[in-house]
Structure 1
């Protein structure tokens, strides 16, 4: 399949998910700064989810600039990833309303781990189906450093299940920031944008 056609489809899905995500944010109970600040767990959860979705879009945009076609394996993996990230608005609000509860923390963290794994698998499938694309291999999306965000998330699970219930929530934020920074550094090192 041509990447331009797929990229348009995937961009539309991400835009819809981000729209649904922002529509789930409630208004403050009163028009005061205190009421606004009372909702900060919701704003932070939204920020984490938005950054993940934006980073997926940005990474795929850069990837599809150097790849003309993708195979069925990559399409199926992207389909699974689309299903997983479509659940993000539900689990983001569940977590935001229950930051100190283990089940929402767990589901929020699992969504991010599964998304990261599927994104990595999709990228590797694209690499395998384009073995002679020099531009693609110069981007070095396959770097082992890209596994660091998953390690941070695993640390969050350990924290949540041992000493600090919001551990996954905090580590999701750290993980997404690390994911963005590593992606930028690896692209800069490869001479990309």
Structure 2
């Protein structure tokens, strides 16, 4: 097992760059009144949703690594796999916003979210494999209903984009709202572990 410091620092840097790239998609309007901002509304809304998603991943990633005892080679690769899918968020965010949430960009957005959720699950599994089933993290995760429900919602939302884009968008917002309330399982488990 290796220390976690470099992995955490690298991941934080990548996530900061992802947010920076996304905000660069918000182009300055040519007018100086509120009407000039109207065409930017879809781009801003897609940015806002993606900013929340990246923030959720950053928050949960932080807690996940805090609970881990160390990292293995499998954890390093699983983390890179997660960062790969998260790094595609600026592309699908921009495409969806520029095309006013049309079917294919909205479906692809969901596809990236689904793959990021799967990658996060793989990262959890890799950490649990290294730390063991009796670890603090294993006890904290328990049944992980949020982690199991989110991919199911994405699987419903992706094809829904071709029939009613607003349904997909509402489902993506629903998942974000589910995770917006911080997942305190790991925090509680760490407190219990530190003060038995």
TM-score for both structures, normalised by structure 1: 0.86
**CA spacing shift, 1:44–1:111, aligned 2, 3 Å:** same
Partner of 1:69: 70
Partner of 2:45: 44
Structure 1 distance, partners of 2:49, 2:18, is 14
**Kept after mapping to 2: 8 A contact 1:21/1:89:** yes
Partner of 1:91: 92
Partner of 1:167: 167
Partner of 1:184: 183
**Kept after mapping to 2: 8 A contact 1:150/1:175:** no
Partner of 1:119: 120
The two structures, once aligned, show a CA RMSD in angstroms of: 2.2
SS of 2:86's partner is helix
The number of aligned residues is: 190
Dislocated runs of 4+, deviation >3 Å: 185-192
Structure 1 distance, partners of 2:125, 2:42, is 35
Partner of 2:107: 106
- Structure 2: gaps (5+ residues): 192-196
TM-score for both structures, normalised by structure 2: 0.85
In the TM superposition, what whole-angstrom CA distance separates every residue of 1:41-69 from its partner, at most 9, and x where no partner exists? 11111111111111111111112222231
Structure 2 distance, partners of 1:167, 1:12, is 33
Partner of 2:156: 155
